[in-house]
A and B are shown apart, each in its own frame.
Chain A
Amino acid sequence: MAEREPAISADHSLCIGCSACTRVCPTRALRVRDKIVQAKQGRCLKCGACIFACKHGAMRAHTSSSADLERFKIRVALPSLVLYGQFGEDVRPGQILRAFRSLGFDLACDISWVCEMVAAASDAYLTDCRGPWPQISMTCPAVVRLIQLKYPDLIPHLVPIDPPCEVAPRVHRGRLAAEYGVKPSEIGMFYISPCTALVDAIERPLGRRPSSLDGAFSISELYGPLLRALRNSPDGDSDEQVSIRGLRWVMASGEIPGMRNVNSISVKGLQDVTYVLDRIEAGRCSGADFINAYICSDGCFSGQLTIAGRYSAQRYLHNIMRQIGDSPPVKEERIRSLLQTHIFDFDDAIIPLPASPPAGDLRQAAARQRQKRELWSQLPKRDCAACGAPDCDSLAGDVVEGEAELTDCPFFRLEQLSRDVPFSKTAACVTRFAARACCPHCNTMLTQGPYLEIAALTPGSERPVRARLSAVVGEIGAKLSGEGPEGTTMQIGCPECGTSLESTERCSLCGAPLARLNLRGGGTYQLCSRRGCGGQTISGPCTSEGLVPLAGRTSDSSQEGS
């Protein structure tokens, strides 16, 4: 297989370094360094949470290309069942499968039967299984990677049965090769995936055995072409080939229908999954014998690479199922004979992934922990991610590992700047500062206590109004007042001499012009001129004259250093 890009990577030309993604990552894998996001080695689950979080489209999913398709004589699409719910309730699975023929595929195979068979195979496995309970399915690769990374003790709980997308090629490849008179390797099997985790598992299999798929495309990238194809020729193959039990298995929330083992449940979403895994680990998961766990909040319907909203997609699929009516179940003998062929087996061991570098000596590890706690106690505990790490704890850990500095935290930096102020020596790093700023033209002091007085002219209005805004550095409420809606860019001037304060630099948050003031004692203080933004920068050799700690209003969140 050709070398492919990782299933998710950051497009550095689009990343603005806002750190939104670092905060959603369940394994705290992401950091913003030098204004660009980076992933820490070996921690990514390919869960795709960062794709959702990025408003700039910088987190990209990578799938197969048309060149990958062309390497095969016969190209087969194997769509996730989620695809059937993407086009509304009037488009039937048979039509969708048919439409793939105008997209460069020779055919598309339904995998609902495979889903039904995987459910039945899991059932059969559980009947003979002797624990440990509950058993956990391997359907969602992100959950398996989470277990490898954070719950290695739960590895024996995993049911060694591959997900339907891995089993499907094994079911179809031989038959299709015979049918088309080609070698099995000349058939390209491409999964049509709802998420990055399943795409990733093709390139980086969970075990050592290579994937049985040849590649994958996302539902979202094929959605448009499929929709067009459906409009142009809406006829389809018959629906008889769809397994209703298979569809029900994908739709399951809570108890899983159709499993003989009644104590089966579906658990969805990172929060619920960690809740359940924590309890299993503590030996306190009562009730269920089998757990189908999905990292996405609504299972595969809410994968990042889908189009239709998860609620509508499920409703559509429900109605489609009702229209199709029931289908006869797969015969037990067929399942039993397939079990003999080991077609469902995940025949490899899942190995634990080290969550952190091997600690070696306990003494050293404990020393590192002490150091980390000590560093953490010096940070403001705002968990704001402005430093590029997702929270203060992660920054402290990065500093211990030599990958970052405490001064990456802007609040810590401010604290250092005013080290010569006696007050701040005793206070923890939660001090708030007022910027003592003056007009660069007439040198009038514009700060009055914790406020800054300026003249603001709203576009379209005649006369500038005096506006008072917070001079507290970093304060979220440091927003411009004035007329007009939030988002209006104002002209900011000196209320004394009337000169415009517009700077040549622009706000790093919104791009509006900054207003520039001088700090007493050196340095400049710039604030965004757009109402509601609150962007600020401080630069130059600031002194304790220009940044004054505000007494009596320090945060009470820390009793540390007392």
Chain B
Amino acid sequence: MDRDSLYRETFPIKGDDFERGGEVATRVKALLQQLGLPRDVIRRLSIANFEAEMNVVMYAREATLEVLVFPDLIRVQVVDRGPGIADIDWAMQEGHSTATEAMRARGFGAGLGLPNIQRNTDEFEVKSDAGVGTTLRYAVHTTPRPKEG
């Protein structure tokens, strides 16, 4: 499927780098704006990218966020090296979080990130390998299509 992507670009994210947290989401947003995508698509992807990026910053060591542009959808893959998510079903529920006090003090850790990514995307998938890392794949359709589920 990657073969017929119109454009792809990879962005590195560093764990623990709160200083620059959100930068990748901002850069991707600029890219999507230059591609002239509908504002709603950009908005939903920006929300998802920001949450995914901040999860890497908070919980993982490092990651790459890859953006793939297809004629009818934008796909994003965030592959991180980190502890992985022990119980994905648990983590996917609103309000569930393992964030520390310090992270909460920065306004993160409400346990809404992953559910928010799912809500704002048309396709969503999490895979995790304990001790190795987490892979997040999501996509937003650029041409209107009824959303399943």
Please tell me which one of the listed residues A150, A360, A366 contacts residue B6 in the complex, with CB atoms under 8 A apart: A366
Residues of B within 8 Å of A284, CB to CB, are 50-51, 107
Complex contact B39–A370 (CB within 8 A): no
Please tell me which one of the listed residues B25, B33, B35, B142 contacts residue A282 in the complex, with CB atoms under 8 A apart: B25
- 10 residue pairs bridging A and B, Cβ less than 8 Å apart: A153-B39, A279-B50, A281-B43, A282-B49, A282-B50, A283-B47, A287-B107, A359-B35, A365-B36, A367-B6
B115 CB, nearest partner CB in chain A, Å: 12
Residues 9-48 (chain B) with a chain A CB within 8 angstroms: 9, 22, 25-26, 29, 31, 33-37, 39, 42-43, 46-47
The CA of A309 and the CA of B47, in the complex, are separated in Å by 40
- Size category of the binding interface on chain A: 20 to 34
The CA of A279 and the CA of B25, in the complex, are separated in Å by 10
The CA of A369 and the CA of B34, in the complex, are separated in Å by 8
Please tell me which one of the listed residues A275, A352, A366 contacts residue B7 in the complex, with CB atoms under 8 A apart: A366
A95 CB, nearest partner CB in chain B, Å: 46
Residues 277-291 (chain A) with a chain B CB within 8 angstroms: 278-279, 281-284, 286-287
The CA of A365 and the CA of B142, in the complex, are separated in Å by 14
The CA of A52 and the CA of B115, in the complex, are separated in Å by 45
A350 CB, nearest partner CB in chain B, Å: 14
- Size category of the binding interface on chain B: 20 to 34
Residues of A within 8 Å of B39, CB to CB, are 152-153, 352
Residues of B within 8 Å of A557, CB to CB, are none
Tell whether B69 is near chain A: CB-to-CB under 8 Å: yes
B91 CB, nearest partner CB in chain A, Å: 18
Q: Given contacts A278-B22, A286-B107, are A359 and B71 in contact (CB under 8 A)?
A: no
Complex contact B50–A369 (CB within 8 A): no
Tell whether A562 is near chain B: CB-to-CB under 8 Å: no
Residues of B within 8 Å of A281, CB to CB, are 29, 43, 46
Q: Given contacts A284-B50, A366-B7, are A356 and B33 in contact (CB under 8 A)?
A: yes
| Cβ proximity bits A417-444 to B, threshold 8 Å, 1 near / 0 not | 0000000000000000000000000000
Complex contact B69–A362 (CB within 8 A): yes
Tell whether A373 is near chain B: CB-to-CB under 8 Å: yes
Complex contact A282–B22 (CB within 8 A): yes
Residues of B within 8 Å of A152, CB to CB, are 39
The CA of A356 and the CA of B32, in the complex, are separated in Å by 11
Complex contact B71–A362 (CB within 8 A): yes
Residues of B within 8 Å of A275, CB to CB, are 22
